[in-house]
Chain A
């Protein structure tokens, strides 16, 4: 990674006009993505992340604003004149071509000789761990294999930036986790800037060097996974990335002495059935367990606070069994957590 800027979005807006009124799909977004970075656009559906990606690819054009690729304005260039390639959500493999022809498509367009492009296609298929698949048809492949072919096809042109539009969305959990690790290692090996669109916060946290969190066409926060998770800048980020307890008003005042809204992560809270003594650097509050959800690795408690409001608490099942944790229902408990684990969030 270097400090060179791979992609710059400058005040980019995209307005979709329709009979029922205009929609600001992307609303004045500015963003810098560095050379060699694994950068994620994270947000719920309709937040503008995919539209932003499509504008970088050239499938869509900004209503206003500029998109720079290594300093060059590409805002009005068609996709085939941009040095970026895309891995599509539905893979978009050409059904009438073999895997090998699919992967070599970009080279065929560049009129590279057949033996040369077949050799390159084989190398790319090796990279994505599908050696010897070039003769098959896409319809004969599993979802995970199609995904890899789409990746090989997009990488064969050695683009300056690779765009990935929720590429793992259709895979099952195990395969998705495996592909996450693999994508990351491929990115390190080829050294290309990756822009990765996802609505899965865990995926974004796992893979990214930096993340931009999108909401309603705007960017809420840009930062490393740790920054986003530990220092959410807005209530939206606190809630969307991981679960967060947002407390404000009267309840906040009783806990911290101030009415300012704060967030605290469920895993930072300790839950105790006895009236344990806690240290001076901790906040505490009493309550009653309303619900217990046993999730194998950990247990989630919903605790009703004395005097209103509730908090989600997560505890690992280190020594407890499901029988133990279920007994906590309707019990009086006290909750405490270190003062440093709360974040004051505006709004």
Chain B
């Protein structure tokens, strides 16, 4: 019976492909594309300020509102934060990934894999809260700064208008540190995978042809692992753009996109403006991917 069924499908390869792909495709269409389209449509409605109700007619009014200086500032601040977090993650992730891919023994690699992914096992909110303790006024960082007599330096840093605050736990710097901590694994894993796919003989060939290690890195290793850097930065970049928990917990009064979306759709019921805000990161991501393609990030794929 089972054999007859297998033969039935063996003779109809298109049917099996259809049965195999239709559930995930359906899910993808409804849950992902559908939601995106619903959001896009909503961003062209507007909130009637007098009645407090959403008016369902096509208009660019909401987008005009999005372009108000205060809102542009939120978009700009969030993008800048995402860029900074991504750059910091690349700088921290690359050496470790390189070590994991090229030099680490099998056991060391397994250990590092675990060490990198282990934090992902526990709740995101719990981990973020633990940083609250580390960065708080009476927290580990200020205690340590006091211990090595650098509290003057810390206070001087915190007095800076743009980056500081009453403590690291209530500052842009705190948000940056926690973001880098939270998203780092998403940068390490793709870079490590990309580096592992660069054959050792290519590195040897480059060195054989007279390239110093620095030249080999620039001409061979970096271009070939660039798709991994792009993949990792898509994670860190978009996750930072959309997150609202970290800015809410560590932020001062300055808004980020995620926090703005939360406020507009939750507190003030302005779903069109929240949707329009969300279109911001999507457009930024598309622009980023186009740029990456132009730089040749996907040539080696």
A interface residues (Cβ-Cβ under 8 A, vs B) = 57-59, 78-80, 84-86, 88-90, 92, 94-96, 105-106, 108-110, 153-154, 157
Q: Which residues of B contact A90 (CB under 8 A)?
A: 199, 201
A321 to B72, CA, bound (A): 91
The 7 closest A-B pairs by CB, nearest first: A92-B201, A92-B205, A106-B209, A79-B207, A109-B210, A96-B300, A109-B211
Complex interface: chain B residues within 8 A of A105 (CB):
206, 209, 211, 219
Least distance between B196 CB and chain A CB atoms (Å)? 15
Q: A94-B220, A96-B224, A96-B299 are in contact. Are A88 and B207 (CB under 8 A)?
A: no
A157 surroundings in chain B (CB, below 8 A): 209-210
A161 to nearest B CB, angstroms? 12
Decide: B208 and A86 in contact? CB cutoff 8 A: yes
Q: Mark B71-108, 1 if CB is under 8 A from A, else 0.
A: 00000000000000000000000000000000000000
Judge whether A88 and B209 touch: CB under 8 Å: no
- Measured CB to CB, the residues of B under 8 A from A are 199, 201-202, 204-212, 215, 219-220, 223-224, 296, 299-300
- 23 intermolecular pairs with C-beta atoms under 8 Å apart: A59-B204, A80-B208, A80-B210, A80-B211, A85-B209, A86-B204, A86-B208, A88-B201, A88-B204, A89-B201, A90-B199, A92-B199, A92-B201, A92-B202, A92-B204, A94-B202, A95-B224, A96-B300, A105-B209, A106-B210, A110-B210, A153-B209, A157-B210
Q: How far is the CB of A311 from chain B (nearest CB, A)?
A: 44
- Cα(A106)–Cα(B205), bound, Å: 10
Min distance, Cβ B301 to any Cβ of chain A, angstroms? 10
Among A94, A154, A157, residue most surrounded by chain B Cβ atoms (within 10 Å): A94
- Among candidates B202, B208, B210, B211, residue contacting A57 with C-beta atoms closer than 8 Å: B208
Name the residue of chain A whose CB is nearest to the CB of B212: A80
> How far is it, in angstroms, between the C-alpha of A160 and the C-alpha of B189 when the chains are bound?
42
CB distance from A94 to the nearest CB of B (A): 6
B residues within 8 A CB of A106? 209-210
* Residues of the B chain whose Cβ atoms lie less than 8 Å from the Cβ of A94: 202, 205-206, 220
Quote the shortest CB–CB distance from B157 to chain A (angstroms): 42
Within the assembled complex, what's the spacing in Å between the Cα atoms of A253 and B100? Answer: 63
| Neighbouring B residues of A80 by C-beta, 8 Å | 207-212
- Chain B residues, CB < 8 A from A58: 207-208
In the bound complex, how far is the Cα of B211 from the Cα of A273, in angstroms? 66
Partner of B209, one of A59, A78, A96, A109: A109
Which chain A positions have C-beta within 8 A of B199? 90, 92
Which of A79, A84, A154 has a CB less than 8 Å from the CB of B204? A79
Q: Min CB distance, B201 to chain A, in Å?
A: 4
| Minimum C-beta distance from B226 to chain A (A) | 9
Which residues of the other chain, A, contact B201 by a CB distance below 8 angstroms? 88-90, 92
A197 to B206, CA, bound (A): 20
Instruction: For the complex, give the distance between the alpha carbons of A108 and B215 in Å.
Output: 10
How far is it, in angstroms, between the C-alpha of A80 and the C-alpha of B223 when the chains are bound? 20
